[in-house]
Amino acid sequence: MDRIKLGWAEEDITPNKRIRLAGQFYERVSEYVETPISVTALAVECEGEQAVFCSCDLVEIYSPLVASVRQKLIDAGAQGLGLDVGKVILNAIHTHTSYIYTREDTSSGSSLGVLRSLLPTVKEESRPVADQPDIMQPEEALEFLADRITAAVLRAWCERKPAFIIFGFGRVPIAHCRRVVYDDGSALMWGDTSLPDFSVLEGGTDTGMELLFTFDENRKLTGVVANTACPAQVLEHRNFVSSDYWGKTKKLLREKFGGDLKLLALIGAAGDLCPRDLIRWVEPETPVDDPNIIRHNPPERLADPSMFDIRGCEKVAKRVYNEIVSVYEELDLSVLTDKAVFRHSAEVVPLPLRRVTTEEYEYALRVIEDFARSGVAVDFRKCAELHVYAGTVARYRYQQNHDTYGAEMHFLRLGDAGFVSFPFEIFLDYGNKIRAWSPAKLTFLIELACGAGGYLPTQRAERGGHYSAYVSSGNVGHEGGEVLVNRAVEALNKFWV
């Protein structure tokens, strides 16, 4: 059996000027850099197989970025170096304090296009402030990011050396269900649990943390791969650049283990999870421009610091850091291994498109047309509301000629561990099924990877409605979720035959 070869690299992607910040339905432009942002790459080669994991401090990985990076790798001679660009996996930590680097993805129908056609007053993204010359535009950001990610991948690949690994598992209580169900069966993301008709939180939580520690030939710790089911969006409403809790975790780890330590952050099945406890609600320290967050005279709780602000972000980071260190200190380093079974397959899995009925389409069209006749000005808030209906219109038109959504997925086995990636914010229930049925001793789940298919909700969430469960929130529904789970388990099982 061949020895494992690993290569680590990190590239800074912190902007040198103001940027448009991704995530949320209102305009935000960065005012300063709170924490640097970066891309971290880990190249793995063993038994004639390979992979490069590349974790990016971004909100999502849109298809144009994947295509650009892979083409730049080809142009740079990666294939001559033995790198299969199709086995480079880009994933996002889902920070909302990083770049908008692409216009709306029109591959499966454009809700913005629908609004433009029906509401002539809607401008491109409706972002007049962001058109100022000192603000980086999406096309410029895309080129910059693709260059830096390409550099990280190439350097990681070229620096492969014999290495040792060991897996670990920890518990870190940082994720909470963010969908609230009421007595009438309706659901709200960020719903108010203090209301008298509050019934239950729609889903569960996942406190598990899969870990991989890497070492050089001298058995010195070189990096950590950490997989948590909690998106990096504590600071999601703020007007600065930040890598959220992962950047702060990395800083703490480097203070303990040295400045060269690398951290590869992987977000698991977390489409319906967040860093906030909606039961023990703690108000933001500073105002948040989101009507779903506003509470009127909420009772004061003795709980976490505000999980909208820097103190809360530092608390999450410290919890993750403490558990990583705790697991590391309990490892039996005498059983480090430099050999492992390594398998990797990648494919575009056709998942059934989430469809809308003719009645749903006609109703959505009427809502937009009625608004157009009202003469009311279109602002950011109204655009966000109308996108729900525009997405329904766009999906209906798209489904006339399309039945499936092609999801790039990667399946890997490294020793006793399995890895599965998917291009969605996938709800926890699907991740639980994959892990429960996986043949691996531990299974790493990587969402928001190699594409941006939106949320993948459960049937329960679709019935409850609201953001993350609307048709406009994602390309695939619960039928596709079950196909995805079954394909993932089937692929992993083949690696253990």
Predicted local confidence at residue 125, as pLDDT: 44
Confirm whether 142 is domain-assigned.
yes
Its domain, for residue 245, covers 5-111+135-353+406-495
Model confidence at 280: pLDDT above 70: yes
Confirm whether 40 is domain-assigned.
yes
Give the whole-angstrom CA distance, residue 80 versus residue 433: 40
Give the whole-angstrom CA distance, residue 447 versus residue 404: 19
Position 110 confidence tier, pLDDT thresholds 50, 70, 90: low
Predicted local confidence at residue 364, as pLDDT: 93
In percent, the amount of the chain with pLDDT more than 70 equals 94
Model confidence at 124: pLDDT above 50: no
Predicted local confidence at residue 130, as pLDDT: 55
Confirm whether 286 is domain-assigned.
yes
pLDDT per position as a tens digit, 239-259: 999 999 999 999 999 999 999
Confirm whether 49 is domain-assigned.
yes
**Rounded average pLDDT over 481-486:** 98
Predicted local confidence at residue 126, as pLDDT: 43
Residue 194 carries which DSSP code? T
Beta-bridge partners for 214 = 165, 223
Helix axes 380-398, 111-118, angle to 10 degrees: 110
36, 243 Cβ separation under 8 angstroms? yes
Give the whole-angstrom CA distance, residue 204 versus residue 186: 17
Indicate the number of domains in the chain. Answer: 1
Confirm whether 76 is domain-assigned.
yes
Confirm whether 209 is domain-assigned.
yes
pLDDT per position as a tens digit, 360-408: 999 999 999 888 888 776 666 667 778 889 999 999 999 999 999 999 9
378, 122 Cβ separation under 8 angstroms? yes
pTM value is 0.95
Confirm whether 187 is domain-assigned.
yes
Confirm whether 118 is domain-assigned.
no
Q: What is the mean pLDDT of the chain?
A: 93
